[in-house]
């Protein structure tokens, strides 16, 4: 049975509206991420002003330039809807990975304010709270800790002044525990959201099926009522003769309900849709008009 074009059109419009709504939400989340970048840059500026570290003009240019480059790239993906080609159109993992890489610049350039800089990673990780699974969160944690470990290895190899392996390892272990806990908690919240989302989809699907079934039943009831009206009209036009009819054995008149004797053709015309056209049969013609009938034969 071919699909109802109206239902197919409504389904396509509903899907298009859902995509537009999802894209609008992703752009808003990107706006929040952009605001987070601005806050981190402002906090980094305050750190340098308080004397907790120094960054020269070239370092500032690289730091801000990398932030702008990444955000312009993601903005282009969302604006042109190119993000819809990815398995996860929200690009949550990609944005967190890039922001983590970008944050390593200030983490390396401002070793004196490293505990403060490490706090900047928590807002970035919070963006995956409702999107990433526990496994994805743990992979991101491994990537961030790998980048952090590479910075510590580079500083150890360069023999950075004031570098304390015990202190740096303490920060590294503490930060890894914090991110791991964040991964488990975020994964739990994401799994809970997905479970609720699946239940919502099932309820929505059931609701749509009920609406479709009610629509079909309503249409069937309309057709049924129309058919009943047509049959009623047809039955009202039909007259039938039933029961025993008192008829005279001699003249063949029929007695009606009022006790009057009526000609058979008159009675039948009154009680049915039949009409009579008079003629004469051969036997009667021979009996009534013998001479004319003999000449004709």
Confidence at residue 173, expressed as pLDDT on a 0 to 100 scale = 94
One domain for residues 48 and 161: yes
Residue 245 inside a domain? The answer is no
> Can you give the residue range of the structural domain that contains 72?
5-213
Total number of domains in the chain: 2
Cα–Cα distances in Å, from 119 out to 116, 125, 195? 5, 11, 30
Number of H helices, E strands in the chain: 10, 2
The tens digit of pLDDT for each residue in 215-251 reads 888 888 888 888 888 777 766 655 555 656 677 766 7
Q: Are the CB atoms for 102 and 159 separated by under 8 Å? A: no
| Residues 113/52, Cβ–Cβ less than 8 Å | yes
pTM of the predicted model, to two decimals?
0.62
Percent of the chain with pLDDT over 70: 81
- pLDDT < 50 stretches in the chain: 1-3
Output phi, psi for 259, to 5 deg: 90, 5
CA dihedral 51, 52, 56, 62 (to 10 degrees): -140
Q: Is residue 63 part of a domain?
A: yes
Same domain, 122 and 181: yes
- What is the C-alpha separation between 288 and 297, in angstroms, rounded? 15
Can you name the residues that pair with 255 across neighbouring β-strands? 261
Residues 122 and 261 in one domain: no
| Same domain for 277 and 135 | no
Give the pLDDT score at 2.
Answer: 47
Residues 268 and 205 in one domain: no
**Is the same domain home to 16 and 155?**
yes
Angstrom distance (rounded) from CA 75 to CA 186:
25
């Amino acid at each position: 049975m071919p699909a109802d074009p109206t239902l197919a059109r409504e389904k396509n419009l509903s899907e298009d509206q859902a995509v537009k709504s999802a894209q609008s939400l992703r752009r808003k989340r990107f706006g929040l991420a952009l605001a987070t970048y601005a806050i981190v840059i402002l906090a980094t500026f305050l750190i340098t002003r308080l004397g907790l570290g120094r960054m020269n003009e070239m370092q500032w240019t690289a730091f801000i330039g990398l932030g702008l480059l990444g955000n312009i790239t993601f903005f282009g993906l969302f604006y042109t809807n190119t993000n819809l080609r990815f398995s996860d159109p929200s690009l949550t993992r990609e944005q967190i990975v890039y922001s983590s890489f970008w944050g390593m610049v200030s983490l390396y350039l401002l070793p004196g304010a490293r505990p403060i800089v490490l706090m900047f990673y928590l807002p970035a990780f919070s963006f995956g709270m409702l999107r990433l699974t526990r496994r994805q969160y743990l992979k991101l944690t491994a990537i961030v800790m790998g980048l952090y470990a590479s910075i510590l290895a580079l500083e150890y190899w360069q023999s950075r002044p004031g570098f304390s392996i015990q202190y740096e390892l303490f920060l590294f272990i503490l930060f890894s525990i914090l991110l791991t806990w964040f991964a488990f908690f975020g994964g739990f919240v994401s799994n809970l959201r997905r479970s609720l989302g699946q239940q919502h989809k099932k309820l929505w699907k059931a609701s749509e099926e009920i609406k479709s079934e009610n629509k079909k039943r309503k249409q069937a009831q309309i057709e049924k009522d129309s058919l009943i009206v047509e049959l009623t009209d047809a039955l009202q036009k039909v007259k039938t003769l039933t029961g025993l009819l008192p008829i005279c054995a001699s003249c063949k008149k029929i007695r009606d309900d009022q006790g009057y004797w009526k000609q058979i053709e008159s009675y039948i015309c009154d009680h049915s849709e039949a009409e009579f056209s008079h003629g004469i049969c051969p036997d009667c013609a021979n009996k009534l008009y013998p001479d004319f009938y003999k000449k004709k034969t």
